[in-house]
Amino acid sequence: MEKTSGRIVLFGGGGFVGGNLARAALAQGREAHIVDPVRRPGVPGAIWHTTDITDPAAVKQLLAELMPQAVVDLAAVADIDKAEREKDLAWAVNVEAARTIAAGCARIGASFLYFSSDAVFDGRGSRYAEGDPLNPLNYYGTTKAEGEKAVAAAYPGAGIIRISLALGFPVTGGNSFFEALEQNLRAGKEISAPSDEVRTPVDVYTLSACVLEMLALRFAGIIHVGSTDSIDRAALTRKAAALLGYPEARILASPIGAPQAGRAPRHKNGIISVEKARGLLRTPLLSAVESIGRAITERS
């Protein structure tokens, strides 16, 4: 059976980034398949599969049946504190399932991208390029670093995309910083945001366009995708609050401080270099402020 042109499979496609990516793929005329434990509305036209991604035989069978042209692995235990508490689950999803999916894509020759994170770095440097040494501070970052290695070993033709922070609103479900922010602001709450935690954010629309372009290019290797500059979480949150129509004064800046009981350590400087992506992709990368603006003004 030959690969089906235009068919894309999104493991973890029911989440915040995955749902938006599925929409973008459908808008390009692709046949989008979402692999996720829970079927959700929000992406009309997508085909859902509830395959257990921790079952290698089930993943292999699904890919062999669908024979997609392109595959993206967005599935992850991405809650940093949950990953620290439930290490076996985090390893099973972030490493072993990624290995299985990559091996399945290698067998059928599909274009493949694995989503990783700037959490593979310790955040003590000033800016991180793709080839810089990995030194994660928490178990989530450890699983992403090991997931990268597993994917590259299983499929040398795989692409690995690292992001720092995705901005926008979900169309299906998943963890969206802006959705939680808006809910808290609507409820009249004051919000504390770290002034010494820096990120290189990307809005979900730009991110989706970059992913689809990289799949078409059959990109292999590691690439960073984010804004052309960086911003601290307090400034980012204030800007977002203002664009959502709320007073910036409701955002209280504070340093991260010492790790709290039950909370895994976070890296401070998630400052990733995007020069490789800017040289490779036709999709323009935006500044941090432009990314915040696009994430809010283009919400559906």
Whose CA is closest to 240, among 170, 172, 294? 294
Alpha-carbon span 136 to 183, nearest angstrom: 31
What does DSSP assign to residue 2? P
Alpha-carbon span 297 to 3, nearest angstrom: 37
Which residues have C-beta within 8 Å of that of residue 205, sequence separation ≥ 6?
20, 24, 168, 294, 295, 298
Structural tokens at position 189: 């709450």
Q: Report the chain's C-alpha Rg in angstroms.
A: 18
Alpha-carbon span 59 to 104, nearest angstrom: 7
Task: Please work out, in degrees rounded to the nearest 5, the angle formed at the alpha carbon of residue 162 by the alpha carbons of 159 and 165.
Answer: 145
What count of other Cβ atoms lies within 10 Å of the Cβ of residue 13? 30
Active site residues: 140
Whose CA is closest to 95, among 128, 64, 136? 136
